[in-house]
Structure 1
Amino acid sequence: MNDQRPVVILIFIFLIGAVLLTKLFMIQVVDDSFMKKAERNAIQRVVDHPYRGLIYDRNGKLLVYNNPIFDLMVVPKEFHVKDTTRFLELFGITKEHLIESYNAARKYSWVKPSPMIKQISTTDFAKIQDFLIDYPGLFIMTRSVRSYPEPIAAHALGYIGEISAGQLERDTLKYYSQGDYVGLSGIERYYEKELRGVKGVKYKMVNVRGIDKGPFKDGEYDTASVAGINLTSTIDRELQMYGEMLMQGKTGSVVAIEPKTGEILAMISAPFYDPNQLTGSDFGKTYTRLNRLETKPLFNRPIMAMYPPGSIFKIVQSLIGLQDGILVPETTFACNRSLVACHNHPSPVNLFGAIRNSCNPYYHQAFRKIINREVSSNTFKDTEIGLNDWRDKVLKFGLGSALGVDIVGEKGGDIPSSKLYNRIYGEGRWKYSTIYSLSIGQGEMLVTPLQMANLAAIFANKGYYYTPHLIKAVDGDPSKIPAQYRYKNEVGVDARHFDLIQNAMAEALYGTANRAVIKDLVIAGKTGTAQNPHGEDHSVFVAFAPKDDPKIAIAVYVENAGWGGRAAASTASLMIEKYIKGEITRPALQEYVLAGNFIY
C-alpha cells in the first residue's frame, strides 16, 4: 500500500489540474461573461445628444439656433479628490454643491455617470479642460442650449428646460433620461418630437484613472446622433419686432393672421421678456424671478387672457341675424338710450348705420328679435330655446372653445348657455332682460385675443377660416404640417351677407377710428371697449386689409387704455401699414403709440 501512495497523489494532482485547466478554458474561451464584465469596467457609454432643429421665420430668417454648452459628468466609483480646496477653486463651485451633487450621483448609480456641474459655458469650459486629467471619474458631455439672434416672440417660440420626474414617468418610449432637456412651452413643446432629433451613443475606453484611451473596438458599436428637424414658422420677424416695439411698456396682446391660410404673422404678449434669459445655467433663477413679477411676463395673453369682446361682437350678431332672415339691410331701429347707453350719432339707423356708428340700442333690439321668436307660449322657455339656438351658431365662429393653435395652454373663452343662467337664477326664473348685455359683447361672454383675430379673418374670408397656427413647413415641406391646419372651417353664413359687413367696417373707421385710416389702403375695422371692473376699460380693435384682397387680419388689446379708437386702432393701423407697405409713413402716429398717453 505504501508503494501506491505516490501514484494516488499524482493521480489526485492530475485530476485537480485537469479540473482547473478545464475551468480556465471555459472562462477564457467558451464563456465570455467575465471578459464582458472586465470590459464594462473599462468602457464608458457616452450619450451623443443631437442638436435640436432650427426655427426660421416665414421668410427664411433665423429665429432660434443652438449654442454648445458642457455638462461635467461624474462616475462616483472612479472619482476622488486629494485637494478639495483646489478643486473647488478650479471648478468654481462650493463645497456644499460638490457634496450634494456627488451624493445625488451615488444615489442614482455607483458606476453610471451623473451631472456634477450643468451648462458650463464655452468660456468657462476653456478654463477647466486642461485640469480634467487630474481627476479620475470626471468627463465632459457636450449639449446645446437655445439662442435667439433677436430677442422676440418669446411666448410663441417657447423655451426648453430639464425634464421633470413626472415627464420621465409619462415617457412610455423611454427616449429621455434624467437631465435631458425638453421643450416646456410654445413651439418648442408642441413640436418636441420633430425638434429633438435622435440620440447617438459612443463607447470609449478609459484606464483606471478615467483617462480616455480612444473608442472601444474602433467605434464598431457607436451610433451617430441625428439632428432634429428644422421648422419654418409662420411668424414674420420684421412685423413681430415692430409690434413688440409698439407694445413696449404696455399690457395687452397683438395677433396678426394671414386670412387665406390661418398662418399667424405676429403673436405678441406684453409685457414680454428676452428669450435668451431662459437659457443656460441661470434658467431656474431667472424663471423664478420672472414668475414672481406682478406684470406676469410669462403669461401668454394671446391664448390665455380672456376678455369680453365688446362691440366687435356686434358683427357676429349682424351675421347671425342676416343668415336667419331676422335682420335685413333695411332693418331699422331707433337709438333708444333708455334701453342701453350710447354715444351721439344720427337716429334711427339701419344695419349699415348700426355697424358704422356702433349703436348699442340697435343691437339690444336686434338681439331680442334673434332670441325671442315666440316658439313657446312660456316667455322664460322661449328665451331659453332662443339662447341655446343662438349659442350653437356663435360656436361655429370659433368661440366658446379652444381653436386648437399649436401651443399648449390655449383657453377657450366662454359663450354662456341656458345651463349657466339656470344655475345662477334658477330654471324658469330668467328672461331676455337678464341677458341683454350679451347683445353688445358684454356680460358673461369671454374671448381670447387669438379668437378675436380669427374673427377678423372670418370677416375677411366671407365666412370661413383655417385654424390659426405657427408652423408653415416641417423640414421645408408645407404638406407636413398637422392636417387640422389645412382644413377649411365654414361658419354657416352665406358669403353674400359679408359684402354689407365689409363695407360698413371700412366706413366705420371714419366714424370711430379715424386714426386708423391709411392713404391709398382701404382697411375694414371695428373698435371695441371691453369693460373692466378693476380700472380703466381695455382698448380693442380688429381689422383686415386691403378690404378687397385681404392679406392681414389683426386683433389688438391694450389693457386699461380706454376707447378702442385710440390705443388699439392706432397700433393695428401701424402694423398693417408695416406689413403691407413695408414702411411707416405716419411718424406722428407712431410717436403717439410709443408715448402711450391714451387716456388723456
Structure 2
Amino acid sequence: MDTFSKRRFIIAGIMLGIAAIFVLRLFSIQITNKTYKQFATRNVLRKIVVFPARGYIYDRNKKLMVYNKAAYDLMIIPREAKAFDTTELCRIVQLDRVELRDAIRKAKQYSYYKPSIIAGQIAPEIYAPLQEKLYKYPGFFVQSRTLREYPSKSAAQVLGYVGEVSQSNIEKDKYYRSGDYIGVTGLEKAYESELRGIKGVNNYMVDVHNRIKGKYNGGASDTTAILGQNLLTGLNADVQAYAELLMTNKRGAIVAIEPASGEIIAMVSAPSYDPNLLVGRQRSINYGQLVTDSINKPMWNRAIIGTFPPGSTFKLVNALIALQEHSLSPFDRYSCSGPASTPIKCTHNHVSPLAMR
C-alpha cells in the first residue's frame, strides 16, 4: 500500500473518530443528560404557584370578622435574571436600591432556581404599571395572593395575625416555601392548617421577553388550589366590641364565658391595637412600634398570659360554692387575718370576722 493510501485511511479514521465523539456527545446532551433540557424548559415554561384564599373567620352569629383582599408579589428566579435598570424598577414598586439589592442577595442565598419575593404585598394600583414594564426584566414575574382584612379594630389579640414564614417553619413543614405566610398568633395560628388551604400550580408558556403566551399543554398539567376552610368561632362580635369599649383607657382583661358550654363569648385585652396595622407593606414598621411599646404592651394578650390576683370578687364564688354544698350557712362568719405569706393575699383593712350575709 502506497503512502497516499495510508494517509487516506488515517485521515478517514480521524474523521470517523471525531464524528463518533460528536455523536456520543449529542447522545449525552439530548438523551442521558437532562441539564440542558431543563435549561431549555425554564426558558419557555413557567410554573406559578397559586395561593389559595385563606379561610374567613366568623363570630357565633356568622358575622364576618376576618376576610381577604387582593395583593401581588414581585418574584425573581436568580438564574434567569439579567442586568436591568434598577432605578426604574425601584420607582415602579416604590422600593429603594438598598432594599432591592438586599432582596436579590437573599434570593440568591435561598436558591438560584426557585422563585423568591423581591417586593411583597404590592397594591393593585402599583401592579398595573409594573405588569406593563415587566418584559424589561427577565427572571422577574408577578404572583397574586390574598392579604387579611379586618372590618373593625376589634379582637386583635384573639384573632391574631399572619406573617412571613421563618426558616424554622420551613424546616418543620414542607408545605411552606420562602415568602409564604403563616398564622403567627391567636386563632390564625391555632387553626393554621385548616385556614391556609392547599396550593395549586399553573404552568405557562412564555416568550423571549418573559411575557405569558398561554397555558402549557392546555392546562392539563395544572393543579387547582383548594380554598382554606372558614372558621366559626364562639365569639359574639357585638359583646366583644362592648367589652372593649368598657376597657377604654384601662389596662386589664375581660373574658365572658358561656357557663353551659364553656364557649368564650368575648376575650378582651387592653390596651389593644388595630389588626390592620399588621397587614401590608408597612407591617414591619408598625410591628416594630407595637412590640417595643413597653408602657401599653398592646401585643400582650393579658387574658391568657397575664397573672392577676382574683381580688375580693372571687370570695363570692367560694362563698356561693360553700353555701350550695351546705358547708356554711348565711349566719356563719369568716375570719380574715389580712396580709399573709401566700402569693395572693388580702390587702384590705376591714373588720374581722366577716359575715356571710
TM-score higher than 0.5: yes
SS of residue matched to 1:155:
helix
Which residue identity does 1:310 align to in structure 2?
G
* TM-score, normalised by the number of residues in structure 1: 0.53
The alignment status of 1:291 with 2:291, answered yes or no, reads yes
Equivalence for 1:178: 178
- Determine the C-alpha separation between the residues in 2 that align with 1:36 and 1:94: 34
Instruction: Return 5+ residue gaps in structure 1 as ranges.
Output: 334-361, 365-432, 447-529, 533-600
- Cα deviations by residue, 1:370-407 (Å, 9 ceiling, x for unpaired): xxxxxxxxxxxxxxxxxxxxxxxxxxxxxxxxxxxxxx
**What are the ranges of 5 or more consecutive residues in structure 2 without an aligned counterpart?**
349-357
Aligned to 1:191: 191
Alignment of 1:109-508 (within 5 A): 109-169=111-171, 171=172, 173-293=173-293, 294-318=295-319, 321=322, 327-329=327-329, 332-333=332-333, 362-364=334-336, 437=339, 443-445=342-344
Match of 1:103 among 91, 105, 113: 105
Task: Kindly indicate whether the alpha-carbon contact (under 8 Å) linking 1:314 and 1:363 is maintained by their aligned counterparts in 2.
Answer: no
Tell me, in whole angstroms, the C-alpha distance in 1 between the residues paired with 2:83 and 2:19: 45
CA apart distance, 1:191? 0.7
**What is the percentage of aligned positions where both structures have the same residue?**
40
Of 247-256 and 203-212, more deviation after overlay is shown by 203-212
Deviation at 1:257, TM superposition (A): 1.4
Give the residue type in structure 2 aligned to 1:298: M
| More relative contact order, 1 or 2 (CA 8 Å, 6+ apart) | 2
Q: How does 1:33-48 map to 2 (within 5 A)?
A: 33=34, 34-48=36-50
Q: Pick from 56, 61, 64: which aligns with 2:63?
A: 61
- 2:92–2:126 contact (8 Å) kept in structure 1: no
Which residue is 1:337 aligned to?
none
2:161, 2:85 → 1: CA distance?
Answer: 39
State how far apart, in whole Å, the 1-side matches of 2:22 and 2:166 are: 53
Name the structure 2 match of 1:454: none
Cα deviation for residue 13 of structure 1 reads 4.0
Determine the structure 2 residue equivalent to 1:429: none
SS at match of 1:213: strand
Residue type matched to 1:444 in 2?
P
Query: Could you tell me how far apart the structure 2 residues matched to 1:226 and 1:46 are?
Result: 15
2:168 maps to amino acid: G
User: For each residue in 1:102-122, what CA deviation from the matched residue of structure 2 results, as whole angstroms up to 9, or x when unmatched?
Assistant: 222222222332211111112
The 1-side partners of 2:139 and 2:236 are apart by: 48
Seen in structure 2, the aligned counterparts of structure 1 residues 246 and 215 have a Cα distance that, compared at 3 Å, is same
CA 1:26–1:259: 2 relative to 1, 3 Å = same
Secondary structure in structure 2 of the residue aligned to 1:310: coil
1:186 CA drift (Å): 0.7
Tell me the distance in 1 between the aligned counterparts of 2:322 and 2:256.
Answer: 27
1:206: Cα distance to partner? 3.0
Q: Is the 8 A contact 1:68 1:144 kept in 2?
A: yes
Does structure 2 retain, via aligned residues, the 8 Å contact 1:159–1:188? Answer: yes
Q: Distance in 1 between matches of 2:202 and 2:150?
A: 30
Structure 1 residue 238: deviation in Å?
Answer: 1.5
1:307 counterpart letter in structure 2: F
Distance 2:290 2:59 in 1: 26
CA drift of 1:41 comes to 4.4
The runs of at least 4 aligned residues of structure 1 exceeding 6 Å deviation read: none
Shift of 1:232: 0.5
Is the alpha carbon distance of 1:219 and 1:363 closer, same or farther for their aligned partners in structure 2, counting shifts above 3 Å?
Answer: farther
Distance 1:20 1:80 in 2: 31
Whether the aligned pair in 1 keeps the contact of 2:323 and 2:330 (CA below 8 Å) is no
Per the alignment, residue 341 of structure 1 pairs with none
In structure 2, distance between residues paired with 1:287 and 1:44: 35
Change (3 A) 1:99 1:16: closer
SS of structure 1 residue aligned to 2:80: coil
Question: Residues 19 and 164 of structure 1: is their aligned pair in 2 closer, same or farther, counting only changes over 3 Å?
Answer: closer
Q: CA deviation at 1:201?
A: 1.9
Partner Cα separation in structure 1 for residue 11 and residue 292 of structure 2: 86
Q: CA deviation at 1:39?
A: 1.5
Are the aligned partners of 2:339 and 2:347 in contact in 1 as well (CA < 8 Å)?
no
Distance 1:18 1:145 in 2: 59
TM-score normalised by length of structure 2: 0.85
Query: What code does the residue aligned with 2:121 have?
Result: Q
**AA partner of residue 261 (structure 2):** T
Return the alpha-carbon distance in structure 1 between the equivalents of residues 218 and 33 of structure 2. Answer: 20
Corresponding residue for residue 351 of structure 2: none
Offset from partner CA, 1:526-555 (integer Å, 9 cap, x none): xxxx869xxxxxxxxxxxxxxxxxxxxxxx
The 1:165/1:266 distance shift into structure 2, 3 A limit, reads same
Amino acid of the structure 2 residue aligned with 1:332: D
Structure 2 distance, partners of 1:135, 1:16, is: 41
Cα distance change of structure 1 residues 175 and 224 upon mapping to structure 2, 3 Å threshold:
same
Q: 1:255 to 1:86 in 2, by over 3 A?
A: same
